[in-house]
């Protein structure tokens, strides 16, 4: 018989072991190895069976064992010492507290998923893992972030592979009482709730769970409560499940409900609301509308409130393709906002924010990324290349501007080193290099010999092999409970063979099966008698992605061939627990997406933190960090006639690299059996990439380049009863109304000989018509650079021309508007040889604009 409900009964800890309860309640244990070690010591068998979850461990361990430990003074002292270390970590000033100048009091970080630990399965892939790493690094740096997400009762899904290789999904229901969570409660002890008004006079209620991620609080909204109608209880049933309206409800809850949850916390803790709101992808974009509604209630107009919200909002886009953006039918959004959900907001203003009112857009769709960009004054992609792609993809929002001027910057993702670096490597750094912080260790030092580093790499590979054998055995037993697993499972993979990892979500563009393009050639590579290679592969396909499932099936079928099944394996149910052994255990990390469709690709970063080398298409982060010594770049066949030809060319390039460069470098050993060139590459990777790829570097960039400027802008908009926001809104309306009268009438140049040389100066005079605007409203700029095909200017730079005078007069004109042309002048130094091109443009200018392109207005010389 099956239970109608499950819940976890926790052991009562003896008073002397109260420290264990504190340590388990804070998710710092997910990346703090000393804390993990004490829980493993309590009961190694229970620790393994609970997959390294302290909360589950304390629910599983026998009371007799706890009593025994309570009477052990050494163990009690150990636990108390770790509790003291946790308190010091939570309270002592860290990097952020040492920053000078204005900095945000609090940052609200909104994401649809968070990957913190395997014990809290609220993530599907890279977006969630990135969000979890962001919170962890913020905690380590002392950045005052508060995370906001949803609590999904079934998480994403559990993956199994059928006998015919087809992915099968299941959705085990999570018991929040058995997770490292607590309910946020009001002063009287009742659970705190938020509520959203829905169409048809209905309401959506949500309870607020909270998790402590080091110094960071994470709020998670849950609709599975009695206050809701049955259909609404399932709004937070699973991550990325359901159709359009279900998804819209989730995103309304995340954005609107998330801000309301922050308001509850603010009241309970007597702390101010965040000054900066970071929207991690478009799913949480509705948070800006809730804030606008609140400001309208305080007396601002919609446009004035929009300026306040934009000033303090940061938007991060993670997708390089329009198909990856959430879009809803305009009529559906209109229906939900024609309610009392957001008092003071006109539904027309809401719809305009998400309107695809640009060339190629659909008037019937509401675009969440477009709304996110319009609600945020600062936006970024997640690698340098992705920033370039994003500027192209969203350029329609800033017509007339070159792609380089589109106001989307980039902050390359990073990964949390303490989470993803194997404890064996951390211990080597601690004992030989004097620090357990592997990103700060001197990996070029002779204090660590090649033999010692090679031995640790071998141990990590061995861990992976044993874990792979265990996982396939357990998967067999789940599907065949009355059968004995095949004996050959115990010989699966070889801990001495060059091991290549490939694990990620399985959409078609990531090309899981590119390696199978020529099966016979791949077999020869796997079975090479002198230089064999083995593959460990994992990944989940979205439940609705039939083509992705077919790719998994194709790989599983190949891996079941008796000839090669000991050299290639697909591991089901890819998750954090698997990943923490997979990344360190692979010698090479493979990534072969269709360029430029990989926004960043952080899996290869995690391998690099462990000394793994990357073998990748030059896409995402690898495009900016590949240097020839830290791995290999797979050539891209962009000019191929079709997708099939491109796959064939890039697969051949992959095979060639494996046979002629990767395998030879790995198996070329000295007299002591050490691959010296390979070790050189490992040291170089650890020394140069570890600091750059760390989430700490990423979060520091967000703080210094985005959060601090956003906080300063938000404060400027709110002082003196939002006077600056009111003035900026009025100014923008005036500029937009009058911009039709702005034009570059004529451009003159001089100062150069017949043969210009480096060091010469180009003198430019531009006659500008301002119409109803004044010189203070605009910037007149020379845009110059290398002139390429079609007279396009590349590597453009700008010089602002000087304050104007009225055409036909040598006297300075007054500052008022007038119909006469204004003459602007200035010089451009010719600093580089080669073809040179320039033009003149006019753009709006105001102290509170973050970019000249912010209004999407420009006048250019013709």
Between CA 811 and CA 804 the distance in angstroms is 10
Q: Spell out, as residue ranges, where the chain has pLDDT lower than 50.
A: 809-818
What pLDDT is recorded for position 816?
47
Three-class SS of residue 551? helix
689 Cβ contact partners less than 8 Å away, ≥ 6 residues apart: 605, 608, 609, 625, 630
CB 475 within 8 Å of CB 601: no
What pLDDT is recorded for position 6?
60
What pLDDT is recorded for position 16?
96
Between CA 244 and CA 240 the distance in angstroms is 10
> In 262-338, where do the E strands start and end?
276-280, 313-316, 327-329
What pLDDT is recorded for position 751?
81
Between CA 685 and CA 694 the distance in angstroms is 13
Sign of CA dihedral 342, 343, 347, 350: negative
The CA–CA distances, whole Å, from 653 to 194, 517, 592, 657 equal 55, 11, 11, 6
The CA–CA distances, whole Å, from 214 to 127, 150, 182, 372 equal 20, 19, 15, 29
Between CA 293 and CA 300 the distance in angstroms is 9
Phi, psi of 209 (to 5 degrees): -90, 155
With CA atoms as reference, report the closest residue to 113 among 357, 362, 280.
280
Give per-residue pLDDT as tens, 8-63.
666 689 999 999 999 999 999 999 999 999 999 999 999 999 989 999 999 999 99
What are the tokens at 720?
Answer: 């003196």
What pLDDT is recorded for position 815?
42
Between CA 859 and CA 847 the distance in angstroms is 20
* Cα 63 from chain centroid (whole Å): 42
Sign of CA dihedral 132, 135, 138, 142: negative
Give the relative orientation of helices 708-738 and 302-311 as an angle to the nearest 10 degrees.
140
* Cα 269 from chain centroid (whole Å): 29
Give this prediction's pTM. Answer: 0.95
Using a 10 angstrom Cβ sphere, with 0-12 exposed, 13-18 middle and 19 or more buried, the burial of residue 626 is middle
Give, for 128, the enclosing helix (H) or strand (E).
helix 126-141
160 DSSP β-pair partners: 168
Between CA 697 and CA 702 the distance in angstroms is 9
Torsion region of 565: left, alpha or beta (phi above 0 gives left; psi -120 to 50 gives alpha): alpha
First CA to last CA distance, the chain: 79
With CA atoms as reference, report the closest residue to 41 among 63, 65, 64, 14.
65
What pLDDT is recorded for position 12?
82
Phi, psi of 510 (to 5 degrees): -80, -10
What are the tokens at 674?
Answer: 């050490």
253 Cβ contact partners less than 8 Å away, ≥ 6 residues apart: 150, 196, 204, 206, 221, 223, 235, 236
789 Cβ contact partners less than 8 Å away, ≥ 6 residues apart: none
What pLDDT is recorded for position 806?
66
Between CA 227 and CA 207 the distance in angstroms is 10
């Amino acid at each position: 018989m099956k239970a109608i409900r499950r819940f976890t009964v926790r052991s009562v800890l003896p008073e002397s072991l109260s420290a264990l309860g504190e340590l388990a309640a804070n998710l710092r244990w997910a990346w703090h190895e000393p804390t993990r070690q004490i829980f493993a010591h309590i009961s190694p068998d229970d620790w393994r069976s609970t997959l390294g979850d302290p909360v589950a461990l304390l629910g599983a361990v026998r009371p007799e064992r706890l009593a025994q430990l309570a009477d052990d003074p050494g163990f009690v002292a150990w636990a108390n010492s770790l509790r003291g270390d946790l308190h010091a970590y939570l309270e002592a000033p860290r990097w952020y507290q040492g920053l000078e100048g204005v900095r945000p009091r609090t940052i609200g970080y909104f994401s649809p998923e968070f990957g913190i630990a395997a014990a809290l399965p609220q993530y599907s892939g890279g977006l969630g893992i990135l969000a979890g790493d962001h919170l962890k690094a913020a905690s380590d740096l002392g950045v005052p972030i508060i995370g906001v997400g949803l609590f999904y009762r079934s998480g994403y899904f559990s993956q199994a592979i059928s006998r015919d290789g087809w992915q099968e999904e299941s959705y085990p229901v999570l018991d929040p009482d058995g997770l490292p969570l607590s309910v946020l409660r009001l002063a009287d002890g009742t659970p705190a709730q938020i509520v959203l008004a829905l169409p048809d006079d209905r309401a959506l209620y949500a309870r607020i769970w909270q998790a402590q991620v080091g110094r960071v609080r994470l709020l998670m909204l849950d609709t599975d409560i009695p206050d809701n109608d049955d259909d609404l209880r399932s709004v937070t049933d699973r991550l990325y499940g359901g159709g359009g309206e279900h998804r819209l409800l989730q995103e309304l809850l995340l954005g609107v409900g998330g801000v309301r949850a922050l308001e509850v916390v603010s009241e309970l803790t007597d702390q101010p609301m965040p000054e900066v709101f970071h929207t991690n992808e478009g799913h949480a974009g509705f948070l800006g509308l809730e804030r606008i509604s609140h400001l309208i209630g305080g007396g601002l107009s919609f446009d004035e409130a929009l300026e306040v919200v934009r000033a303090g909002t940061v938007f991060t886009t993670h997708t390089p393709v329009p198909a990856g953006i959430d879009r809803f039918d305009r009529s559906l959004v209109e229906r939900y906002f024609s309610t009392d959900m957001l008092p003071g907001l006109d539904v027309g203003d809401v719809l305009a924010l998400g309107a695809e009112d640009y060339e190629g857009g659909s008037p019937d769709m509401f675009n969440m990324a477009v709304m996110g960009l319009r609600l945020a004054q600062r936006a970024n992609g997640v690698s340098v290349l992705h920033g370039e792609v994003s500027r192209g993809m969203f350029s329609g929002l800033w017509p007339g501007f070159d792609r380089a001027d589109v106001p989307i910057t980039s902050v390359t993702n990073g990964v949390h080193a303490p989470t993803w670096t194997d404890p064996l490597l951390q211990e080597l750094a601690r004992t030989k290099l004097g620090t357990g912080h592997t990103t700060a260790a001197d990996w070029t030092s002779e204090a660590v010999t090649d033999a010692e580093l090679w031995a640790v790499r071998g141990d990590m590979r061995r861990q992976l092999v044993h874990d792979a054998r265990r996982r396939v055995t357990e998967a067999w037993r789940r599907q065949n409970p009355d059968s004995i697993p095949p004996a050959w499972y115990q010989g699966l993979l070889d801990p001495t063979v060059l091991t290549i990892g490939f694990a990620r979500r399985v959409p078609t563009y990531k090309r899981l099966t590119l390696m199978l393009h020529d099966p016979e050639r791949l077999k020869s590579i796997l079975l090479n008698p002198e230089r064999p290679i083995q593959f460990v592969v994992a990944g989940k396909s979205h439940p609705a992605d039939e083509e992705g499932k077919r790719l998994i099936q194709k790989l599983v079928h190949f891996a079941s061939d008796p000839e090669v099944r000991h050299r290639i394996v697909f591991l089901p149910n890819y998750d954090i627990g698997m990943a923490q052994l997979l990344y360190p255990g692979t010698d090479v990390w493979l990534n072969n997406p269709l360029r430029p469709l990989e926004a960043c690709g952080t899996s290869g970063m995690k391998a690099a933190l462990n000394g793994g080398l990357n073998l990748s298409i030059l896409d995402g982060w690898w495009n900016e960090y590949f240097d020839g010594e830290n791995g290999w770049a797979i050539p891209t066949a962009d000019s191929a006639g079709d997708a099939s030809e491109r796959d064939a060319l890039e697969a051949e390039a992959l095979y060639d690299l494996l046979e002629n460069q990767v395998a030879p470098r790995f198996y070329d050993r000295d007299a002591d059996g050490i691959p010296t060139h390979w070790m050189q590459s490992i040291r170089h990777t650890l020394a140069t990439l570890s600091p750059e790829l760390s989430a700490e570097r990423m979060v520091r960039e967000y703080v210094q380049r985005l959060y601090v400027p956003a906080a300063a802008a938000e404060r400027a908009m709110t002082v003196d009863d939002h006077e600056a926001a009111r003035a900026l809104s009025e100014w923008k309306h005036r500029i937009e109304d009058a911009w039709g009268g702005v034009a570059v009438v004529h451009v003159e140049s001089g100062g150069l000989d017949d043969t210009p040389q480096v060091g010469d100066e180009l003198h430019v005079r531009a006659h500008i018509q301002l119409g109803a605007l004044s010189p203070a409203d605009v910037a007149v700029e020379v845009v110059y650079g290398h002139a390429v095909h079609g007279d396009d200017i590349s590597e453009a730079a700008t010089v602002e021309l000087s304050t104007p005078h009225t055409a036909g007069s040598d006297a300075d004109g007054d500052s008022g508007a007038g119909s006469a042309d204004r003459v602007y002048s200035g010089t451009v130094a010719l600093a580089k040889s080669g073809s040179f091109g320039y033009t003149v443009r006019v753009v709006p200018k105001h102290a509170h604009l973050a970019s000249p392109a912010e209004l999407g207005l420009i006048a250019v010389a013709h």
